[in-house]
Structure 1
Amino acid sequence: MSDADPSFRVVRGTPTAEELAALVGVLVARSAPVAAPPRPTPSAWARSARPASAANHPGPGAWRASGLPR
């Protein structure tokens, strides 16, 4: 954008420099993308409770395989 093409303009009133700075700060903060917080890494204790093999997934013959020793 050039200086001749403003992003916004005041149509009523006479804001002070501080008021315009506050408005610009709010507009910039609202336009910034919000990053998702990082997902925590599960602990070893939590991972130990999860199934480790693909044999636990449903599929042909899974009901039979569930009763067989590994």
Structure 2
Amino acid sequence: MSPIQVLHGQPTPEELATVLAVVQARAAAAQAAAEAARQAGGPADPWNDHAKRLRPALRPGPNAWRTSAWA
């Protein structure tokens, strides 16, 4: 983890400890989610999910022959 600097204000030690605990908990949760996705075989990040870019399967329905020529 990179060092954290206070750029503005004078936080008390309790406030600083609270902020650091929240940041640490969020980092641990993100790491656990990435590990769970890696074990499940899926992408760790939804932005990297290439399956979402694929066109959904075509499903014929009423008047499908007519609407097949639409742009």
Higher helix share: 2
Q: TM-score, normalised by structure 2?
A: 0.38
Structure 1 or 2, whichever has the larger Rg, is 1
Q: TM-score, normalised by structure 1?
A: 0.39
